[in-house]
Structure 1
Amino acid sequence: MGYVKLVFLMLFSLLCQLAFCSSLSHLCLKDQALALLQFKHEFATDDYSTLLSWNRSIDCCSWDGVHCDKMTGQVTELNLAECGLQGKFHSNSSLFKLSNLKRLDLSGNYFSGSLISPKFDELSSLTHLDLSSSSFTGLIPAEISRLSKLHVLSIKSYYPYEPRFEPHNFELLLKNLTQLRELHLISVNISSTIPLKFSSYLTTLQLLNTQLYGILPESVFHLSNLESLDLSDNPQLTVRFPTTKWNSSASLMELDLSIVNVTGGIPESFGHLTSLRTLDIASCNLSGSIPKPLWNLTNIEKLFLGDNHLEGPISDFFRFGKLNWLSLRNNNFNGQLEFLSFNRIWTQLEFLDFSSNFLTGPIPSNVSGMQNLQSLFLSSNHLNGTIPSSIFSLPLLEQLGLSDNHFSGNIPEFKAKTLHRVSLKQNQLQGPIPKSLLNQQRLGFLLLSQNNLSGQIASTICNLTTLAVLDLGSNNLEGTIPLCLGEMSRLWVLDLSNNSLSGTINTTFSIGNQLVVIKFDGNKLEGKVPQSLINSKYLAVLDLGNNQLNDTFPIWLRALPNLKILRLRSNKFFGPIKDSLTYKFARIRIIDLSSNGFSGDLPVSLFENFEAMKINGEKSGTREYVADMHELYYTNSLVVTTKGLELELPGVLTTNIIINLSNNRFEGHIPGIIGDLIGLRTLNLSHNRLEGHIPAALHQLSVLESLDLSSNKISGEIPQQLASLTSLEVLNLSHNHLVGCIPKGKQFDTFENSSYQGNDGLRGLPLSKDCGGDEGVPKATTPVGVDEGEEGDSAIISWQAVLMGYGCGLVIGLSIIYIMLSTQYPAWFSRMDVKLEHIITTRMKRHKKRH
């Protein structure tokens, strides 16, 4: 009996211990819970935040994202990724009281440009730290390198936030973190070379877009445990591949060196990377053919060799039997596409990009074997024939790019329901727009421009509620513009230019629309400009040129805050542009009102408010485009008149600043305020009724390339100051009433007779009329910029010379009179007298002008 009691007591004691331990595993220490609650209250959260489960009535070890040590109750893991935290992350945050944390994930929150606190080093037990995509910025503190137990460190950023290392701190980090397995730094400004030594445990090294420079140490390729290496988007980094077998050959599965400076091409040592699944060496300036050892990479699944100068037959790539992503875009590969019908090879293919190569022939009629294909890009080749209907039957197809080829025939009906992007522009396709294409509920981009499509634009196109780009320009479409197009809430680009569309623009542009580009130019549209355009607050480009619109200047467009290009040329606009202090148009860079019936004076206040033209964009050193839609697969092209030519700009730089008011009925003077528009490249006021003088203030237009004031009634001399316009390539002042000497020097020495013809009072080169002075060169005038003393002395000397000259002339003249009278030659003397009077009068006038 005693033995039984003893056994019972032992069992009871064991059960109590187990129960006690079990209860401990669910108990959160009070100081830990308090620290977490304090941290929660430091931020605003949304309605879906993980932190909503955090409250005092529940054990903190059961809160979402919180993990505790089952024995001690200490918080050891905190997963707050994408928790909707918003606000400043304070340097003395209560989070740093959780000294036993081993894993901390703060990624995907919004900490409003907070600095990374140096107190992270107090979490000395951390093995995993993720601060990615949470809008941290500023210096990465050196204290991070004290976290010597770290296995994983991840800091990924995005514009405009850019965390950065102080000089040598990146090297210090790699030196101290000897246990590191994974290092992810994306869009972090390292701005240094890569150190020679790394943790020998490193399996993943990701240093994407980190401003690295110098030569990559070859030791990186010999890290024996390395599985993934990504150094992409570091154009100042030079990479030389090992020519012999790499130590990492057996383990390396991902290699991304796109947009780095690769020297020496692809060596044969690549053939040893038999474990490689992903290879991206796009935009590395590689040339030549693919080395044979590369075909040994039989496990390759994703291969990106685009934007290089590689060559060879495209069919070679079917050797990679496991490929699901293949990009060879923008190279020199050739051949035909018959291998795409080899169904068993391409069954697993999801992404295929052969665009911008030298491929020829048709697409095989049967490509239905590519059942998993989601993206197919074959643009900018020499492909021909009809587009096979089997492409439009691929069940998962989302993106189709066949533009800039020689495809003909009708566009087949679409059976796929998954399409997101379709680009068939710049071919010879004909017939109507397929009805099935207008039933694609996910379609975001439809680009069919520069074909021979005919028929009308069906109103059912407005059923495409997800459409962002509609480009139907340069076809043979007719009928009216569907009224509902202005009500498509997601539409950014609406391009119906260069068709045969007629009627009035009755489209109602709804409040809140997202339109950035509207191009209706080159049609047969009539009536007025719809005032509902005032609702297009994001509009940057409005092109209504080459129509039959009959309206006054739509001054209400001044309320559009982002308008940069306004083109109303070749219509029937009429009346004055009334001067007003309320003009805005502050961002206008190109305004083309040419070939209309505008009249009255040039509106001074219009020029006064062209704020964007008052900046010389050359000084910024960056190339930016107006309404750059490359991310939307659309290029904003524009036809402009400049340098006496009609030019199509395939992309409109912000520095393309143009004013064209030619071929109207404008009167009055050219306002000198135009001289304030120092960013101006082209000024065309030709074929109007302008009079007065050319403003000397135009010499301030230091980047002006084309100036056309021809066919007006402008009088006076050409300002000598215009000789300072060193960028001027084309000058046309013909058919005016200009007089005096043509300026000499710099660009004026390059202009021909045609620049000045029709001005009978002009003299000097290149005209045949002599301008006087030595060898036809005008006499020197007082230099610009002399001080008052010098100017006074010069004037005295000049007048002394004049008096001496006229004194001598008087003596000689009287002598001649005496001789002529005594010899009785009055007729000869009369002619001489008139000529002498003319010479004296002309010189006196010139002298007065100079002084």
Structure 2
Amino acid sequence: MGSLCLVLVILQLSWSLSSTVAPPSSHLCLLHQRDALLHFKTTISVDCFRDSYPKIDIESWNKSIDCCSWEGVECDNVTGHVIGVDLSHSCLVGSLFANNSLSQLHNLQWLDLSSNNLEGSLLENTSSLFHFHGLRRLNLADNAFDGAIPTELFIQLVSLTHLNLSSNGFYGLIPHNINLLSSLVSLDLSSYGLDLRFDSQGFDMLARNLTKLRNLVLDTVDMSDVALTPFLNLSSSLEHLSLSGCKLHGEFPTQVFQLPNLKVLYLSENESLTGYLPNTSWSSGLELLDLSNCGFRGSIPASFGNLTQIISVDLSGNSLEGQIPDVFGNLRKLTFLSFSSCSLSGPLPITIFNLTKITRLDLSSNHLEGPLPNHVSELQLLEELGLSNNSISGVVPSWLFTLPSLPRLDLSYNKLVGPIDRIQKPSSIQEVHLRYNNIGGPIPDSFFDLVNLTWLDLSSNNLSGVIKSDMLSKLTSLEVLDVSNNSLLSLSTSGNDVNYSFPQLTTVNFSGCSVRQFPNFFRTSNLESLDLSNNRISGGISKWEAEGWEGLQWLDLSHNFLTALEQFPGNNLGKLNLHSNLLQGPILSTCLNPQIPILKELEEFIISENKLAGNVPSSICNLSSLALLDLSENSLSGTIPDCLENLSYLQTLDLQLNNFIGKIPNSFVNNSLSRLLLNDNQLEGLVPSSLVYSTSLEILNLGNNKLTDRFPRWIASLPSLQVLILRFNRFYGSLPHSIASSNFSALRIIDLSANEFTGTLSTKLLRNLKAMKDKPREWLNSSYTDFFGIVDIELDGKIQHFSSLGMI
């Protein structure tokens, strides 16, 4: 909305300027003024970025043509004096005031050099500007000027009516004597990011003295030091007030909403700005209102319905509460309305569905309830409808899918029920989001007549029935299909399914449904992601079923009943999840054969919680792109392959809860490794000292093994270590005093229980565990957070429990 505001201001100013500048003069322009312009041309260059072009071709200026006919130059049609120069958006590069040639244009009334790359400090180079005795308009917007705004500027140019210094590199305090420009009608000092600032005295003087102001734009000017009482002194002529992102704070005066000529009010992105909407006496001509992401409280008053000229309203992200008043019957010009992310409740106002010009309507993330109307014939121009994250109930009315201009429908996270009404006249809708409702029954056949659909999300409902390939075959534009978490919904496994093509489909999610067999009919698409987790797929996947998935990059078959895989689907898998199945025997040695280039790009391989047995084949080390390898909770045995050190991208290695024997390889020299889980095996020997080079290590769990070693003092030097589990091993001896002096700067959990440590424990060690005061990170699962803030150490045959008081 801020950009819309700026466009409107530019249009308004452009109209104002063009309406006062006379058409090109028939007189020859004065020679000394022509020469001044030509000299100015020699001091700058033209340099456009990439595919941009200058609006005004200053290179076309030459002596052979009357300068009053030059592009960007306007003359008085009686005297021939140059009164206007517009070189905005003209790719000018150089120093604006490197010479004083423009100062010879004594009758210049307006100058627009905005949106160029003119550099230099106005503070140092403005002496020539002060010679523009007749200057009435100055626009230096969107340049690269650097420096504070010179105070002399406002002393010399007291006749200015329009001043625009926006989007430059100015910084520092806006001079108080800006209030001397008492003829100003329009002032724009908006900046890129809070580099300019107003103090309370300066803004108070401006509000009192600039009595002719109609447009005041100060977006992202730092006004954190400005009290709000001076707003009561703003000119009654004010039509446009824009103060977005100004760090305003305190309670905004409601009287500003009542300024008699106010048409545009933007206060967005002032999070500490509070206040209330006026119960009566709004400015009757208000057209644009944006208070988004502020702290306004209270309710939306019924007087809101008196804003008959209103075009756009954005009150999103405030603390408004109560019901939305049903007062939209007279707001016939309204095109944009957003009350999203407030705390509004109660039923949807019926008259809001009668707005014939509305293009964007967003009421999402409130507490609105009740059903949608059964029939709506208006909203024919609606392009965006946001009703998600509410408590809307009842059925999904079919008129929602017939709106001619609506590309996206989002009713997710509500309490809608089914079945879905039959759609009589399908529209050109492209996205439908109905996830997390209570919609039941089958998906109606008419749903698949929405032939322009690119995204269909019906996940987390109570849908039932079978989705057949011939139903989906109509949706030739479909890119994303998500019907996950519909436990009674299944997928056709007909042999004819392979005959259908889905050329645009890239993502399919059937997780948590009743799929019983690996599907056939997505193989002829360009599918990249397939999620069939939490289903009832049993048996194996044959080589025939695994063919034809060349584009598949992400495959999740976890939580099924798979017993065998002859071959992985696809040749370009990047993520493969087979967690919690019934896979048994050796670890897929056929699929991991280095002669079969199936998994060259595999980054995540999860095959935990199965019934795999035997050794880990060395061919697994050929998966050179692996970042995550999870073989946990199987019956794997033998030793851990030494070649794992070759996996230079490996971040997580999880081999816990198996039957590995032997020593931990002394070959972990991997700066990427962040999680190493080898607990609950039969590992023996020492903790490999090479782990000291794994400086990214965050979790190290070696618990429940047969390791025999002293406490590895180098562990304290690992800068990122947050979890250290050594419990139930054969560690012995005293804890070295050196670790008591270590920072353990990141350590949150340490478990040394059920070992053979002896001696005393320094309380200094406990005091150094400062990270235990912080909230644990999300990845710390429940098995770790059980120990959060607790140090368990077995000393002299007894487990001593230490709670770091004030740190838990």
Matched, 1:78 2:86: yes
Alpha carbons 1:282, 1:308 under 8 Å: kept: yes
Matched, 1:694 2:729: no
Name the CA distance, whole Å, in 1 between partners of 2:468 and 2:221: 47
CA shift, 1:254, in A, is 1.9
CA shift, 1:252, in A, is 0.8
CA shift, 1:436, in A, is 7.7
CA shift, 1:518, in A, is 5.0
More deviation, 568-577/408-417: 568-577
Counterpart of 2:641 (choices 569, 576, 598) is 576
User: In structure 2, what is the equivalent of residue 331 of structure 1?
Assistant: 366
- Specify the SS of the correspondent of 1:32: helix
CA shift, 1:395, in A, is 2.7
Alpha carbons 2:600, 2:623 under 8 Å: kept: no
Name the CA distance, whole Å, in 2 between partners of 1:566 and 1:211: 48
- Specify the SS of the correspondent of 2:388: coil
Alpha carbons 1:300, 1:320 under 8 Å: kept: no
Identify if the C-alpha distance between structure 1 residues 34 and 592 changes in structure 2 by more than 3 Å, giving closer, same or farther: farther
Identify if the C-alpha distance between structure 1 residues 279 and 52 changes in structure 2 by more than 3 Å, giving closer, same or farther: closer
User: In structure 1, what is the equivalent of residue 142 of structure 2?
Assistant: 131
CA shift, 1:378, in A, is 0.6
Name the CA distance, whole Å, in 2 between partners of 1:454 and 1:423: 16
Partner AA of 2:620 in structure 1: T
For each residue in 1:690-710, what CA deviation from the matched residue of structure 2 results, as whole angstroms up to 9, or x when unmatched? 431333565678997754334
Partner AA of 1:251 in structure 2: G
Matched, 1:478 2:518: yes
Name the CA distance, whole Å, in 1 between partners of 2:24 and 2:316: 61
User: In structure 1, what is the equivalent of residue 257 of structure 2?
Assistant: 221
User: In structure 2, what is the equivalent of residue 514 of structure 1?
Assistant: none
User: In structure 2, what is the equivalent of residue 102 of structure 1?
Assistant: 110
Name the CA distance, whole Å, in 2 between partners of 1:286 and 1:97: 53
Name the CA distance, whole Å, in 2 between partners of 1:487 and 1:730: 36
User: In structure 2, what is the equivalent of residue 685 of structure 1?
Assistant: 702
Matched, 1:427 2:461: yes
Identify if the C-alpha distance between structure 1 residues 215 and 717 changes in structure 2 by more than 3 Å, giving closer, same or farther: same
Counterpart of 1:355 (choices 377, 382, 388) is 388
CA shift, 1:763, in A, is 1.4
CA shift, 1:382, in A, is 1.8
For each residue in 1:790-830, what CA deviation from the matched residue of structure 2 results, as whole angstroms up to 9, or x when unmatched? xxxxxxxxxxxxxxxxxxxxxxxxxxxxxxxxxxxxxxxxx
User: In structure 1, what is the equivalent of residue 346 of structure 2?
Assistant: 312
Identify if the C-alpha distance between structure 1 residues 700 and 455 changes in structure 2 by more than 3 Å, giving closer, same or farther: farther
Higher helix share goes to which structure?
Answer: 1
User: In structure 1, what is the equivalent of residue 544 of structure 2?
Assistant: none
Alpha carbons 1:243, 1:269 under 8 Å: kept: yes
- Specify the SS of the correspondent of 1:380: coil
Name the CA distance, whole Å, in 2 between partners of 1:665 and 1:61: 93
1:565-604 correspondence to structure 2 within 5 Å: 575-576=640-641, 578=643, 583=648, 592=654, 594=656
CA shift, 1:104, in A, is 2.8
User: In structure 2, what is the equivalent of residue 815 of structure 1?
Assistant: none
Alpha carbons 2:504, 2:526 under 8 Å: kept: no
Matched, 1:669 2:677: no
Name the CA distance, whole Å, in 1 between partners of 2:732 and 2:217: 69
Partner AA of 1:464 in structure 2: Q
- Specify the SS of the correspondent of 1:334: strand
Name the CA distance, whole Å, in 1 between partners of 2:477 and 2:75: 48
User: In structure 1, what is the equivalent of residue 432 of structure 2?
Assistant: 400
1:194-233 correspondence to structure 2 within 5 Å: 194=228, 195-196=230-231, 197-233=233-269
For each residue in 1:265-318, what CA deviation from the matched residue of structure 2 results, as whole angstroms up to 9, or x when unmatched? 334443443332322222212222234667765654432222122211225454
Partner AA of 1:234 in structure 2: N
- Specify the SS of the correspondent of 1:220: helix
Partner AA of 2:625 in structure 1: L
Identify if the C-alpha distance between structure 1 residues 307 and 678 changes in structure 2 by more than 3 Å, giving closer, same or farther: farther
Partner AA of 2:703 in structure 1: S
User: In structure 2, what is the equivalent of residue 22 of structure 1?
Assistant: 26
Identify if the C-alpha distance between structure 1 residues 499 and 295 changes in structure 2 by more than 3 Å, giving closer, same or farther: farther
Partner AA of 2:274 in structure 1: T
Unaligned runs of 5+ in 2: 1-22, 145-165, 531-550, 773-784, 804-808
Counterpart of 2:423 (choices 390, 410, 414) is 390
1:539-558 correspondence to structure 2 within 5 Å: 542=604, 544=606, 546=608, 551-553=619-621, 556-557=624-625
User: In structure 2, what is the equivalent of residue 762 of structure 1?
Assistant: 797
For each residue in 1:550-609, what CA deviation from the matched residue of structure 2 results, as whole angstroms up to 9, or x when unmatched? 753467438xxxx7x776756879843558699567xx6x66554678887657785762
1:792-807 correspondence to structure 2 within 5 Å: none
Identify if the C-alpha distance between structure 1 residues 388 and 712 changes in structure 2 by more than 3 Å, giving closer, same or farther: farther
For each residue in 1:356-375, what CA deviation from the matched residue of structure 2 results, as whole angstroms up to 9, or x when unmatched? 11122321245455233233
Partner AA of 1:205 in structure 2: L
Counterpart of 1:289 (choices 323, 327, 331) is 323
Alpha carbons 2:327, 2:351 under 8 Å: kept: no
Give the length in aligned residue pairs: 664
For each residue in 1:10-64, what CA deviation from the matched residue of structure 2 results, as whole angstroms up to 9, or x when unmatched? xxxxxxxxx99536489993432553465443x3433441369543477577777
1:613-762 correspondence to structure 2 within 5 Å: 659-663=676-680, 668-670=685-687, 682-696=699-713, 707-717=724-734, 732-733=751-752, 736=755, 762=797
Name the CA distance, whole Å, in 2 between partners of 1:596 and 1:36: 79
Name the CA distance, whole Å, in 1 between partners of 2:468 and 2:56: 51
Identify if the C-alpha distance between structure 1 residues 359 and 51 changes in structure 2 by more than 3 Å, giving closer, same or farther: closer
**Normalising to structure 1: TM-score of the pair?**
0.62
User: In structure 1, what is the equivalent of residue 59 of structure 2?
Assistant: 55
1:198-277 correspondence to structure 2 within 5 Å: 198-246=234-282, 248=283, 250-277=284-311
Identify if the C-alpha distance between structure 1 residues 39 and 728 changes in structure 2 by more than 3 Å, giving closer, same or farther: closer
Partner AA of 2:416 in structure 1: L
Identify if the C-alpha distance between structure 1 residues 416 and 661 changes in structure 2 by more than 3 Å, giving closer, same or farther: same
CA shift, 1:205, in A, is 1.9
Identify if the C-alpha distance between structure 1 residues 479 and 363 changes in structure 2 by more than 3 Å, giving closer, same or farther: closer
Partner AA of 1:395 in structure 2: S
Identify if the C-alpha distance between structure 1 residues 756 and 285 changes in structure 2 by more than 3 Å, giving closer, same or farther: closer
Alpha carbons 1:669, 1:690 under 8 Å: kept: yes
1:401-550 correspondence to structure 2 within 5 Å: 401-408=433-440, 409-410=442-443, 414-416=448-450, 418-419=452-453, 421-429=455-463, 431-432=466-467, 447-451=482-486, 452=489, 454=491, 463-464=503-504, 476=515, 478=518, 496=556, 498=558, 504-505=567-568, 507=570, 518=575, 520=577, 522=579, 527-528=591-592, 542=604, 544=606, 546=608
User: In structure 1, what is the equivalent of residue 543 of structure 2?
Assistant: none
Q: How high is the sequence identity, in percent, across the aligned residues?
A: 23
User: In structure 2, what is the equivalent of residue 364 of structure 1?
Assistant: 397
For each residue in 1:66-121, what CA deviation from the matched residue of structure 2 results, as whole angstroms up to 9, or x when unmatched? 3523643737253644x6x49x77464679948636263634x788xx78845687
Counterpart of 1:35 (choices 24, 35, 40) is 40
Identify if the C-alpha distance between structure 1 residues 765 and 264 changes in structure 2 by more than 3 Å, giving closer, same or farther: same
More deviation, 353-362/118-127: 118-127
Partner AA of 2:248 in structure 1: L
Alpha carbons 1:115, 1:138 under 8 Å: kept: no
Alpha carbons 2:190, 2:217 under 8 Å: kept: yes
Identify if the C-alpha distance between structure 1 residues 703 and 211 changes in structure 2 by more than 3 Å, giving closer, same or farther: farther
Identify if the C-alpha distance between structure 1 residues 523 and 390 changes in structure 2 by more than 3 Å, giving closer, same or farther: farther
CA shift, 1:383, in A, is 1.6
Identify if the C-alpha distance between structure 1 residues 390 and 566 changes in structure 2 by more than 3 Å, giving closer, same or farther: farther
Identify if the C-alpha distance between structure 1 residues 478 and 506 changes in structure 2 by more than 3 Å, giving closer, same or farther: closer
Partner AA of 2:491 in structure 1: S
Partner AA of 1:287 in structure 2: E
**Normalising to structure 2: TM-score of the pair?**
0.65
- Specify the SS of the correspondent of 2:346: strand
User: In structure 2, what is the equivalent of residue 649 of structure 1?
Assistant: none
Higher strand share goes to which structure?
Answer: 2
Identify if the C-alpha distance between structure 1 residues 704 and 319 changes in structure 2 by more than 3 Å, giving closer, same or farther: same
